[in-house]
Every structure is written in structure tokens, then in C-alpha cells.
Amino acid sequence: MPHPARALALAIAAALIFSAAPPAEAAKKKANRPAAAQTRPAAKPKAKPRARPAAPARKPLVRQLSTADQLNRVYDEYWDASMRLNPLQATFQGDGSHNDQLPNILSAAWRQQSHDFTTEWLGKVEKIGPAGLTGQDLLSYQIFVRDAQMSLAAEKYPSWQMPISQYYNLGSIMAILGSGSGAQPFNTAADYDAWSRRSLGIPPLFDQAIANMREGMKAGVVQPRDLMEKVLPQLDAVIKPTAEESIFWAPVRNMPDDLPEADKARITAEYKRMIELRIMPAYRALRGFIATEYLPATRTSDGLSALPNGQAWYAQAILQTTASSLTPQQIHEQGEQRVAALQDQISKVLKDNRIRGSQQKVLRNMRSDRDFQFATPQALLGRYTQLQQQVAARLPTQLDTLPKAKLDIRAVEPDRIGSAAAVSYQPPLPDGMRPGTLYINTGGLPSRRSWAAPMQYLHEAVPGHHVQLGLQQELDKLPRFRRLGGDVAFVEGWGLYAESLGDALGVYDDPYAKVAYLQAALTRSARMVAETGVHAQGWSKKQAVDYLVKTADLPAEDAAAEVERFMALPGQTLANGLGELKMLELRDAVQSAQGAGFDPRRFHAEVLRDGSMPLDILDAKIKRWMAVPATP
């Protein structure tokens, strides 16, 4: 599962992916060299001077570059330009050169600037064109053009009129940045000054959010009430009467010891004024507007289809997040078919292993029986170390290319136990200074179930995220928009696909581990059915919750949280599920075409070797690969 701060970064990056000022054009050099014939005698007075091939018109340097080199230069200029216009994105990418800036990313002027930027850079890339490109160069071109076109297509839908929900709350994003627990650094006096200057942008940004929501109220484009009711407690948790009680005071409380005393005193006084006179009033104004004006205007419907042009809006959201050309109805039916198939598979596992009781009873027993608990934190960590060894023994049958970075297994630090996921993965640093790390949360030990460990290890570690992200990191010649980005449907799709390899890797020999995997896959498919039901078929939130409770045996509270998430973020649930299904579909297609000659190692290497990409581009890439006969 992604870290919360990383999830916020992805949310912002999704909104800001294309924007910036044009790069400086390469200077065109004129070939006006002095004519040497004028300074030395001519052999024949009436003879025409000899032509000098190099003199008449030296071509600009860019014309001497290959198509791929020209495009890579444009990609590099594009990335630098996008960081200038998107300082928040730069911060989340670890680029600190714009940490003091917070443009009004909700304003009409910024939206126009973003549109102009996208159009301009798409035009630059398409002018060069894809002629002669192969391999990674062709993929980079296709990904850049596709993402830019999707960004432009999304502009016709007024998502800017619904800028806040409990899953995308500007108040929460600013609080994470300003608390020192996010990407904003607080290590030097200059860092503290940068945040103080950046915070100047909070009041106008919040005012713009209010103005945009008012326009949405007039146009009938408003959030469901259930989503906005959850925003008020989030804002209340930030709003405090004094600076010292505020989350924004944490950087002052945790000032580095090596800061000069004069700087400490100055920063302390400045931050007190900043928090009490600038930041808190902005939060109170936003909270007051939502509570008194916006909540009464929110809608009782739950899906995008209830909004103006909502069906087309949802279809665009699916295309943008999943790169799938399937209609919502097709996805809905595909999800229902997969749910039924997985229910049959679970029944077969129970029957083959003589496990008595209905599926529902077995699942509830798995959640409550103490036989599936770990006795100690050390036993929990030991199980993941055992899985690491177990998977490594059989991995050569499935993968013959692994990242250079090692994988460490560690317990979550004590101060993160309350907020960290049960299992999470942190990629290695490119310089080899830090290995990939699989973090195991040893808190809440009774909730950590032994049957969950195999699929979690496969997903987060090997052959899941550690392998895919580690190999991608080694592609150091990729343009930065690819190397520092990532397609969620591909990344999470591969993690989920990795879970399906548990039989081949010998970790589903325990029938309860196999049932756990099948039930998790069933739940994902049920979420796809529920999401398309809400957004495209007029389901209410209650219908979707009831469906998940009945079909996936989710507790009602968990089912409600799932439904609210995809109400706020249409398409997100589908990205993960369709990513997994696309990889299973491609594997089946390759296996069918190659028959007895099918080698899963070659298929997996081809999926992974170029890094993440939209699913439609992956599909075309694998089909090109299939068309080339395998070398002995």
C-alpha cells in the first residue's frame, strides 16, 4: 500500500502533470564567415569563386541530432519547465528549488496556463514525430503524447468546481507539508523561511476553493453530502486557538539543535504570527463556508452520472486512469463474471481440503481464530523472512532478472505503528545507499493474520513492487517524466498480478493462504462492480455497501469506506483491478500463442523491462513482442 504522503503526492501530481513556461529555443547560428577569396588573389580573374560546402548555411545543432535525441532534449526541457510552474510537484519529487512557492492552482488563470503549456509541449513533441523510433524511444513518445492528450480531454469536465473531499482535502495536504511530516524539509533556517513564504499562498488558495465551489453550486456540480460531512472533522483537527497547539508548530518544536539561537528566536516569533494571523484564519473561513453554505447545497446522489454530462465524465475518468477502452457496462459485467469464478475456486479449495462450513463461515473463522495469530512480534517478522527464503528458492522458474538492490525486512518504527499499513514497501535509493525495505507493522498483533502474509509478501516485495520498482529505477537513461513518474494501473496491477504467482512459488500450499488470496481477488472484483454501479448505473451508496457486505463479506464500516473512496476518486478502484486483469489477459494470450514453448520468465521479463506505462501501450508492446519469433 502507498504511504499516505506518497498518495497525496500522486493526487497533486495527477492534477499538475502538464504545465510550464516554454524553453529557450536553441540559438540559430548563421554561417557568415569572411570570404577568404577576397583576401587572396584569384587564379583566374573572371572565374567564379569555388563553393565552400561548409560556409553557406550551417544547420542548427538540433537538426543534426537523431529523432530520439531531439525528443529527449525536449523531454528534459519539459521536465524542468514543469517543475517551475508546479512547485508543489517539484517538492514531492525532491526538487527543493521551488519550496517557497505556492501558486493558485485552482484559479482560472492557472488552468489556462496549464492548458497552454500542455498544448505547446504536445505540439513540440508531435512536430518531431515518431518516425524511426523503436524500443524505449518509441514508448517514451507514445506515453508522453497519450498523457498530454488525456490531460487536454479531461479539461472539458469541471472537476475544478469540486476541489475538496475527504480524500483530497487541501487543508490536510497543507497541514502535512507544514507539519514537517511530509515532503517539505525543515532542516535549515532557509527551509523554515521557504515554508513561511510558501504559506503566503494558503489564504488565496483556500479563497479560490470557496469561489470554485460557489460556481459549482450555481452549475449543479457539487459533492455528495456524505463526502463533505467527513471534511469538517479533518479541518477541525487542524484548527486550534493558539500556534503552540497547532500541527504547524511541530517544526518549531523540533528545530534542529545546530540552528543558531538568533535564527531560532526569529523563526519562533515569525511562525507564531504566521500560524495565528495567516493560516488559522484561512482554515476557519474554509470550514465556515463548508458548514454553513456548501453542506446545505450538496447532493443526495452518489455517482458522477448524476452530474451534468456525468456519463461521459465517468467514461473519461476510466480512460484516463486505466487506459482501458472498456465501457462501464463491460467492466461491470466483467467484474460480476470474475466474482462468480472466484467464488467457485474458493469452493473447490475448501472441498479439496475438506474444510467444512460455508464460505462466509470459513472466512469469519479465519478472521477470529487464534490459531491464525502470531504469538510475538518476532514470530511475525520471522514469517516474512521465511517467505523471503521460500520465494527465492523457486523464483528462477518465474523470473531471471532481478534488481541489484537488496531487500531488507524491518519492523515499523514505534512512532509510526499507529498510522502505518500492516505491510508497506519503501524503494531503494538509486545510489545504493539504502536497500529496498519491506516494513512490517508489529503493532495490533491480534489483527495480523498468518494467512495474509504470503500474498502481502508477493505483492509488496518479491516478485511485486521490489522487483518492478527496483528494475525501473535502474533504467537511468529514461526521460525524467517516466523515471520519476509511474502509471498506477501498471504499478499496482503488477503487484496484484504477483499475488497470482503464489502457487508457482509454493507459498499457497496452505489452503487458508490460497483462500485468502482468492478472497482478496474477489473483493477487488466486487469493488469494480460496485464502483461502476454507483457511477454509471445509478446505484446508491447503500446499494453498493450492501453489495460489498453480501458478496465480499466485508464489515459494513469497511464497505462504506471503500464506497466513499471511489465516490471521491472515480476510476481509482478500476485502475488497480484492470491493471491486474490486463496482465493476466496478456499472459493467457502469450501462452495460447506459444503453446508448449511458453516460458513465464521471458513473458515477465518483457512486461517489466521497460518500466511502467499505460495499459494500452503495454498491450501494444506485448503484441509486437509476440509477433517476433523467439530466439533459441
Same domain, 562 and 413: yes
Same domain, 355 and 499: yes
Contact 107, 37 (CB under 8 A): no
Q: Does residue 42 surpass a pLDDT of 90?
A: no
Domain assignment of residue 57, yes or no: no
Same domain, 464 and 546: yes
pLDDT at 58: 55
- The predicted model gives 425-430 an average pLDDT of 84
Same domain, 332 and 479: yes
pLDDT at 56: 53
Final residue belonging to a domain, choices 250, 265, 300: 300
Distance CA 31, CA 27 (A): 13
- The edge-to-edge listing of strands for the beta sheet with 423-426 is 407-411, 436-440, 423-426
Distance CA 583, CA 579 (A): 6
Domain assignment of residue 77, yes or no: yes
Distance CA 274, CA 213 (A): 26
Same domain, 360 and 435: yes
Residue 373, φ and ψ in degrees, nearest 5: -90, 160
pLDDT at 190: 97
Distance CA 483, CA 177 (A): 24
Confidence of residue 485 (pLDDT cuts 50, 70, 90): confident
Confidence of residue 19 (pLDDT cuts 50, 70, 90): very low
Domain assignment of residue 293, yes or no: yes
Residue type, 233: P
What confidence tens digit (pLDDT) does each residue in 101-146 have?
999 999 999 999 999 999 999 999 999 999 999 999 999 999 999 9
Same domain, 279 and 249: yes
Query: pTM for the whole thing?
Result: 0.85
Same domain, 96 and 239: no
Q: Which of 40-44, 150-154, 217-221, 314-318 has the lowest mean pLDDT?
A: 40-44
- The predicted model gives 298-320 an average pLDDT of 95
Same domain, 131 and 248: no
Same domain, 478 and 409: yes
pLDDT at 222: 98
Same domain, 344 and 377: yes
pLDDT at 192: 98
What confidence tens digit (pLDDT) does each residue in 495-515 have?
999 999 999 999 999 999 999
What's 179-222 look like in SS3? HCCCCCCCCCHHHHHHHHHHHHHHHHHHHHHHHHHHHHHHHCCC
Q: Does residue 253 surpass a pLDDT of 70?
A: yes
Domain assignment of residue 267, yes or no: yes
Q: Does residue 366 surpass a pLDDT of 90?
A: yes
Contact 491, 468 (CB under 8 A): yes
Helices 541-552 + 556-568 axis angle, to 10: 130
Indicate the Cα dihedral angle 275, 279, 284, 289, nearest 10°.
180
Same domain, 257 and 339: no
Final residue belonging to a domain, choices 300, 335, 364: 300
Residue 349, domain extent: 318-573
Residue 168, φ and ψ in degrees, nearest 5: -145, 85
- The predicted model gives 255-261 an average pLDDT of 96
Final residue belonging to a domain, choices 235, 268, 300: 300
Cα→Cα distances 204→198, 201, 210, 365, 583, Å: 12, 6, 10, 53, 45
Domain assignment of residue 559, yes or no: yes
Query: In the numeric block, which cell numbers belong to residue 259?
Result: 540552528
Domain assignment of residue 171, yes or no: yes
Three-class DSSP category at 520? helix
* Residue 373, strand partner residues: 449
pLDDT at 57: 54
Contact 536, 529 (CB under 8 A): no
Domain assignment of residue 134, yes or no: yes
Q: Does residue 31 surpass a pLDDT of 80?
A: no
Structural domain count of the chain:
3
Ordered DSSP codes for 535-556: HHS---HHHHHHHHHHHH---H
Same domain, 175 and 153: no
Domain assignment of residue 616, yes or no: no
Contact 607, 618 (CB under 8 A): yes
